[in-house]
Structure 1
Amino acid sequence: MKWGKLIISLAIPLAVGAVAGIATSSNVDTWYPQLNKPSFNPPNSVFGPVWTVLYILMGISLYLIWRMPVSFARNNALRLFFFQLALNFLWSFLFFEWHLIGWALTDIVLLLVSILFCIALFRRVQRIAAWLFVPYLLWVSFATALNFAIYRLN
C-alpha cells in the first residue's frame, strides 16, 4: 500500500466536502428552513455523517484507481472522477449559497449521470472502486429526487 497516495486520495474529496460544507452550513439554519420541503426530507443532522462516509468511500475508490498501472482507461477514470467531484462541489454553492434551486437540479442530474459513467468506467479498471461508488449513486439519486421536489414546491 502506498500511504501517500491513500492519504491524498482521502484528503481530496474530504477537503472538497469541507469547503462545500461551509457554503451549506451558512444557509442551513437561515434560508433552508424557509423552503417548502417534501415529507421525505430527512433531518439536517443526517446529511453531514452520510456525506462524510460517502467522501471517504470516494477517496478509497480514487486510491484504488490511481494505484493501477497507467493506461488510457485508468486516466479517463481519474478525469471522470474529478469531473464528478467538481459537479458535486458546485451543487452546494448553486443550491445553498446562491439559492439557484433549478440550476442545482440541473447540476445534480449531470452529477448522477457522471456517477453512472464513473461506475461503468471504474469497473473496467478496478471492480471494487466501482462498487464503492454504489452508495454514492444511491444517495445522489435520493438527493436528486429531493432537489426536484424542493424545486417544484418552491
Structure 2
Amino acid sequence: MFWLLFSVFLVACLGAGATGGLFPPGPWYRALNKPWFTPPDWVFPVTWLVLYLCMATAGARVAMTEGAGLALALWALQIAFNGLWTPVFFGLRNIRLGMAVVSFLWLTVFFAMVAHWQVDTLAGVLFVPYLVWVTIAAALNAGVWRMNPDAARNPPDVAS
C-alpha cells in the first residue's frame, strides 16, 4: 500500500513541478538583478527532485495513518501553492504576486510540516528541507522585488 500511495503523491509533486517546464525563466528573468545568494540553474531541478521524493514519502506515510485528515488537507494545499508560484512569477512575470504566493506557500508548508510531525515524526522531518528551500525561494523572490522595483511595479507584457 505504501508504494501505491507514494506513487500518487509523487505524481502530484511532478504535476506541480511540470509548471517549471511550462513556464521557464527565459530572457526576462535572466535580465533581472538577483541577490548574491541565487543558486546556479542546475541546483533547482536537483533540489526539487529530492524535495518531491521527501514530500511524496511524507504524504504516503501520513496517508496510511488513522486520523491524518488535517495533515493530508495541508499537504494538498501546499502542493497547490507549489504549483502556482511558477506560472505567477515566470508565466505572468508578476514579482509582487509571486511574493504573495510564495508567502502562502511558506505558511502552508510550515503548517503541513507541523501536522505531519504530529501524525508521524519522520514525515514531519521530511518536510524540514522543503521549508528551508521555500524560505530561500521567498528570500530570492523578495530580493528580486527589491532589486528590480520597476519590473515589480510594472510586470512586462508576457508576449514580449
Question: TM-score by structure 2 length?
Answer: 0.88
**Residue correspondences, number:** 148
Percent identity of the aligned residues? 35
Q: Give distance in 2, aligned partners of 1:23 and 1:95.
A: 12
1:37 aligns with 2:7: no
- Alignment counterpart, residue 145 of structure 2, candidates 133, 146, 151: 151
Contiguous gaps of at least 5 residues in structure 2: 149-160
Residue 33 of structure 1 aligns with an amino acid whose one-letter code is R
Partner of 1:63: 60
Question: Which protein has the bigger helix share?
Answer: 1
Q: Secondary structure at the match of 1:44?
A: coil
What do residues 38-77 of structure 1 show as CA deviations (whole Å, max 9, x unaligned)? 11111111111111111111111110111112x2xx1111
Q: Give distance in 2, aligned partners of 1:52 and 1:31.
A: 25
Deviating above 2 A after TM superposition, structure 1's stretches of 4 or more consecutive aligned residues are none
Cα shift at 1:97:
0.5
Q: Give distance in 1, aligned partners of 2:7 and 2:37.
A: 36
Partner of 2:20: 21
Residue 12 of structure 2 aligns with an amino acid whose one-letter code is I
Partner of 2:72: 78
Question: TM-score by structure 1 length?
Answer: 0.91
Q: Give distance in 1, aligned partners of 2:3 and 2:47.
A: 25
Cα shift at 1:131:
0.3
Cα shift at 1:2:
3.3
1:125 aligns with 2:119: yes
What do residues 110-149 of structure 1 show as CA deviations (whole Å, max 9, x unaligned)? 1111111111111111111100000000011111111000
Contiguous gaps of at least 5 residues in structure 1: none
Residue 113 of structure 1 aligns with an amino acid whose one-letter code is L
Q: Decide whether the 8 Å contact of 1:14 with 1:56 is kept in 2.
A: no
Q: Give distance in 1, aligned partners of 2:80 and 2:88.
A: 12
CA root-mean-square deviation: 1.2
Change (3 A) 1:58 1:2: closer
Q: Decide whether the 8 Å contact of 1:23 with 1:96 is kept in 2.
A: no
